[in-house]
Structures are given as structure tokens and as C-alpha cells.
Copies of this chain bind each other. A is one copy, B any other.
């Protein structure tokens, strides 16, 4: 609830965008897992702003400082506390919004809920909070690797440009282009889409696709905690996420049942599925096929245009653009999606150990 996520493996995050630090506590990580903190740092750097023309020019180190839970490079089974200091304060940049409500931001709703807010850079509502999730996810991914489970996400749509079934995808090239698209040609078109939006002071949305390989059959809780329901909650909790679908998702709504059965077969003495319309989950429990899902992100609400809106007292006001903002957050969302997926999957792998005496 609130700022804690997970069942047995829990992540609690804290921090405002322009406060002293953001951070988190990853609890329930099993003991004895060797963690490469440099790799964690590299993974976190994939989320940070200032990586390319696609993203905001705000430059941040996002240096992760792990404070506990890892000793001599190995997890202790105790909570892993970590912080990332906020270094790039330009509080003055944000004075204009102190008394105003930017449309499609959380300014108004925070005030409605709490009666006050930290207006600097969005405060707690800033996507900067997700850096803490990426730290935790990076640690979880190293544990998953020991279990031969891998999590890979990529950009499958930006604005009007998307990957479809006919396109080749090559997961090894995801980080070779600034939009994190696994098809070089489509990546270029996506980049053009982002730059076109930026040229107009506008922003553009997109979709991230994620594939989790190696999840053994039997993981997930079959009723409220269906594996895809937990993944859905995790993804919809990411800033700007507006939709989630598992397997064929919304396309299932227009399908006939006979078209989307995941047929069983026996291969090398093991029962497998020949299709994967369901995205690797049946009845909320993994079936051994890759777990696949997609997350829709809206275009960010901060535009490089004058915006008419209201002040706290309801009076009309026009906001003038400044600061630095991503015209498209989707590429930076890729590691966040991976991180949240890793947390959900590891959590459920642990849970699954208790389903039989």
C-alpha cells in the first residue's frame, strides 16, 4: 500500500524530486546472492535523463549509494537500503508553478489529497521516484539471472510508428538506438517521430513491450494475485502508464476462442504450449511459456508551449515553458518496466516455494 510494493519481496521508496535524496528499501531479498553494484549503477544509468536528444537535457549523476543489506558483495537477507542524492537543484525554475495547476499533472490532485505539496519539480509525483525502482529491479534481475530468468523490455510504439508482427526484432540492439527499439529501421522512424513532436514543442506517447523468459510453470497466485494482475498493477503504477495488456490483450476481445487456444504438446517428456496467445499465464499462474505484456504510455503533459490553466484560487493563468523536458518518456520507461517486472517475478518465484508442504 502507498509507498511499498510487493508481497514477500517488498520495495519501499521515498523522496521528492528536489528534496535531499530519493531512495528505497528492498526487503525480503534472499541471502547469499552475489550482487555486482557496478552493474546496478549501469542499469540505473539507463533511466537517467540527458542520454540523448530524445530525453531531457537535465543532467544527473544518479549515483546509487547502497547503505545496507549487502556485505562482501553478497546479500545478507536483511533489507537493502539505498539512496540517490538529488544534485541538480534549480528551485527557481519552478517558482511559477507553486500556485498553479498544470493541466494533466498531479499538482491539483496532490493539493486535493494532502492540502499542500512540494511544488519543486513535481515533488513526489516526479518520475524521478522511479529511479529507486530501477535500483531495486537491477538487484532483483541479478537474483533472477541465477534462476535463469531474464527480463527484456523495448519500445514497440512511439506515436504513429509501431512494430508489428511482420517486423524483425533483434533484442541485442535495444540499447544501440536512442528510442530502445529492437529494429534499427523502425528505430529511425521513431526517432523522427520524437524529433517532430519536439520541434513543435509537443510530446508523444508510446508502448513498451516486455518479455520474461525462463519463468517456470506454477508461479503466480490464481485469484486476486494473478501473475498478470500483479504485473499490471506494477506497470500501471509507473508514471504516465495508461494501459496494460498481457499476451494478445485487447486483440483478444475481437477474437474467436478457436483462434486463441494455446495448444499443448509433449516435447522431450515435458508438457509445453505450441502457442502463446495468453502471454504465458493461464488462470493467473505461469505455464512455462514466455511471459509477455505491453504497457501504454501517454505523451508527457509538459509541453514547450504556453499553456492556459488556473491558479489555486481558480483564477486564470498562462504558464510559459522553460526547464528541460522529455518530448517522449517511452525510451526511459524501458528499464523501469524491466525493473518492476523483475520485482514481481522474483517475488512470485519466492511465493511459489510455499504452495506445497
Contact = CB atoms under 8 A, between A and B. Distances in A.
Contact of A12 (B19, B79, B279): B79
B236 A282 contact: no
Contacts of A236: 226, 228-229, 232-233, 244, 246
A62 interface: no
Given A20-B65, A30-B357, A69-B14, A202 B256 contact: yes
A256 B14 contact: no
A10 interface: yes
Interface string A29-60: 01111000000000000000000000000000
B310 A264 contact: yes
B355 A353 contact: no
Contact of A77 (B232, B303, B355): B355
Contact of A298 (B77, B219, B248, B266): B248
A22 interface: yes
Question: Which residue among A12, A129, A218, A300 has the maximum number of chain B CB atoms within 10 Å of its CB?
Answer: A12
A125 interface: yes
A235 to B, nearest CB: 8
Interface in A210-231: 216-226, 228-230
A257 B203 contact: yes
A247 interface: yes
Given A2-B223, A3-B223, A255-B299, A76 B249 contact: no
B356 A308 contact: no
Interface in A103-127: 103-106, 108-110, 112-118, 123-125
A197 B160 CA distance: 33
A97 interface: no
A283 B110 contact: yes
Nearest to A287: B109
Nearest to A233: B233
How many residues of A sit at the interface, in one of the four size bands? 35 or more
Contacts of A337: none
B355 A114 contact: yes
A257 B301 contact: yes
19 contacts: A1-B225, A3-B27, A14-B78, A16-B68, A16-B71, A30-B355, A101-B264, A109-B217, A109-B282, A112-B286, A112-B288, A113-B217, A204-B257, A205-B253, A228-B242, A236-B244, A242-B278, A245-B296, A252-B299
B257 A217 contact: no
Nearest to A286: B109
Given A25-B14, A146-B357, A236-B228, A297 B252 contact: yes
A271 B310 contact: yes
Contacts of A159: 253-256
A173 interface: no
